Amino acid sequence: MENQVTLVQETVVLTPDGSTRRQECLAIEMPYTVALNDEEIGASMVLETALEEFGAGFLFGQGYITEVGQVREVLVCPEGRISVHADVDEESRPKEVIITSGCGGTGKISREMLEGAFDPLQEYTISFNEISDFIRQGLQSSSLGRETHCVHGCGFWADGRLQAYYEDVGRHNAVDKIIGAILLGKFSAAGAIYTTGRLTSDMVLKCARIGIPVVMSRTSPSSLGLAIARRAGVTLAAYARPDRVNIFHCPERIVQS
Amino acid sequence: MENQVTLVQETVVLTPDGSTRRQECLAIEMPYTVALNDEEIGASMVLETALEEFGAGFLFGQGYITEVGQVREVLVCPEGRISVHADVDEESRPKEVIITSGCGGTGKISREMLEGAFDPLQEYTISFNEISDFIRQGLQSSSLGRETHCVHGCGFWADGRLQAYYEDVGRHNAVDKIIGAILLGKFSAAGAIYTTGRLTSDMVLKCARIGIPVVMSRTSPSSLGLAIARRAGVTLAAYARPDRVNIFHCPERIVQS
């Protein structure tokens, strides 16, 4: 079952010359709680797509799930609850948490995560032609961003093709859906992620923690987003367009042909 | 003392024709904890401007501070702590909390807030000429957005002039700085707020709770942002430009001259 994710609303357009009526398309934002092994962990407003992936990715972002293979089952209840069942170690629960960059409902990070070491990344390179296809195919795969101006998109490219492209009312949630898909075994982390959102610390941190070697954004990183990319050895590419990227760290993974 | 809020980083620009070097400006994101009467309530990554306002607004967004006049003193420690001292009722602490729209670190909302009644708004109208001056002056008051592409701006217009324009790495934080300035008595809530960020539920909710009659965004509302504006009777203006606004609710407060 596909959920309805937009609604149409009549608006009044005012200009110095007078007013006209117009129809606008709005993204539908819904509250969902996320539970881990029947315990409620948190809640978020979401766009109702890829909710299983979102549930798994949300718990990863919060530090409860830490690796691929832990999730056993995800049940989505349309009344607003995502129940994740996973083999997690009760001892390894996140401790002190920093709410991040005013955009961190699902991007909470702990000092442990910020200061800890990162596992080595898998070997991966991406060609400029692939980046071009990735961005074009990602943006063309949905018209929701253009229609509502109220969603962020996030795509994943690996093995020479677009593996997924998800959208959400939050830039974090869209990334969480990609990370959730990796946790659910839909594709491996050895690839490139592209987000329409800014790469603040929390965004780069969760990509680095799951082991994504190439992190790209349509827009910019923050200072701490860059600092985390350096520590983790992640390639950080900003202002990414089909014919241009600005590499802030580790250009070696991007090859010309 | 003015904090340094940007840094310059050399990047490699890749195009199909080869690579060049370029200097980019990054917004500096810093972690701050916020304490209320010596108890730590939460933390957020912020841009280090208007930190007193941020501290007060953050606690309002989280439901701890509820009205103008409660804040007695705000102390900012450059090591990363904002201590707010305020006369708050221990009984009125927020209960169950929803983390919001992947952009809700500082925009947490409780079901109480979502379902409760709103106080009547103060009388206020704004002319189209004022909207035009508001947006132009706001965007001209800082070059940080253009330089870094990594901050959101938020301004407040009342009594025929721009009262403040704040920026932050998070769209919520920038709004929290305006709300904090209202809580600290710098200006009254009877005016118009303009944000470069999207108007999801949490954004509209805090503006409505503090009693701002006109809420404007450079971009779009979500479905629930509009629903809250309707319940609170707030004027919701989207896609706001100096010569055009799209009114989603309550156009009566916007007058032609």
What pLDDT score was predicted for residue B102? 43
Instruction: Give the span between the Cα atoms of B205 and B74, in whole angstroms.
Output: 24
Q: In chain B, where does DSSP find H-type helix?
A: 51-61, 111-115, 128-140, 144-148, 171-183, 201-210, 223-232
Identify all chain B residues contacting A153, using CB atoms and an 8 Å cutoff. none
Note the maximum CA span of chain B. Answer: 65
Label residue B172 by pLDDT band (50, 70, 90). Answer: very high
Q: Is the pLDDT of residue A155 over 80?
A: yes
The sign one gets for the Cα dihedral B68, B71, B75, B79 is negative
pLDDT of A101 over the 60 cut: no
What residues of B are in contact with residue A251 (Cβ under 8 Å)? 12, 14, 19
CA-closest candidate to residue A75, choices A39, A57, A49, A51? A51
pLDDT at B2 exceeding the cut of 90: no
For an interface test with A, give the residue of B54, B112, B223 to mutate (most A CBs within 10 A): B223
| Option in A9, A13, A223 nearest B28 (CB) | A223
Confirm if B100 and A45 have CB atoms less than 8 A apart.
Answer: yes
Question: Pick the residue with more confidence: A16 or B135?
Answer: B135
Of A14, A105, A198, the CB nearest to B104: A105
Which position has the token pair 């916007």?
B254
Q: How far apart are CA B55 and CA B173, in angstroms?
A: 10
Give me the residue label for tokens 């170690």. Answer: A89
Task: Provide DSSP, A185-253.
Answer: TSS-SSSEEEESS-B-HHHHHHHHHHT-SEEEESS-B-HHHHHHHHHHT-EEEEEEETTEEEEEE-GGG
Question: Which tens digit of pLDDT belongs to each residue from B3-56?
Answer: 899 999 999 999 988 899 999 999 999 999 999 999 998 888 999 999 999 999
Lookup result for tokens 């870094």 = B148
Supply the pTM of this predicted model.
0.92
- Across the interface, whether the CB atoms of B26 and A102 are under 8 A apart is answered no
Q: Does B11 touch chain A (CB under 8 A)?
A: yes
A22-36, A107-121, A157-171: segment of lowest average pLDDT: A107-121
Return the SS3 of B252: helix
State the best of B3, B5, B9, B11 to mutate against chain A, taking most chain A CBs within 10 Å.
B11
pLDDT at A102 exceeding the cut of 60? no
Say if A200 is an interface residue toward chain B (CB within 8 Å).
Answer: yes
Answer whether B239 touches A (CB < 8 Å).
yes
Q: In which element (H, E) is residue B47 found? A: none
Q: Determine if residue B250 is left, alpha or beta; phi over 0 gives left, psi from -120 to 50 gives alpha, anything else beta.
A: left
Residues B195-250: tens digit of each pLDDT = 999 999 989 999 999 999 999 999 999 999 999 999 999 999 999 999 999 999 99
pLDDT, averaged across chain B: 91
For residue A19, the chain B residues in CB contact (below 8 A) are 251
Chain A residue numbers with beta carbons less than 8 Å from the beta carbon of B219 are 149-150
Residues of chain A neighbouring B104 (CB-CB closer than 8 A): 44-45, 103-105, 170
Note the pLDDT of residue B105: 43
Nearest residue on chain A to B132, judged by CA atoms? A16
CB A50 within 8 A of CB A176: no
Cβ-Cβ contacts under 8 Å for B159 (sequence gap 6 or more): B187, B191
Region B133-146: what's the mean pLDDT? 94
The reported pLDDT for the residue numbered B100 is 53
Helix (H, G, I), strand (E, B) or coil at A92: helix
More confident of the two residues B103 and A255? A255
pLDDT of residue B43: 87
Question: Given the DSSP bridges, would you call strands B161-168 and B152-158 parallel, antiparallel or unpaired?
Answer: antiparallel
**pLDDT bracket for residue B93 (50, 70, 90):** confident
Residues of A in contact with B251 (CB under 8 A): 12, 14, 19
What's the pLDDT band for A171 if we cut at 50, 70, 90? very high
Complex-level ipTM: 0.88
Q: Which two tokens stand for residue A215?
A: 């992190």
Contacts of B95 (CB under 8 A, 6+ apart): B110, B111, B112
CA B16, B19, B21, B25 torsion-angle sign: positive
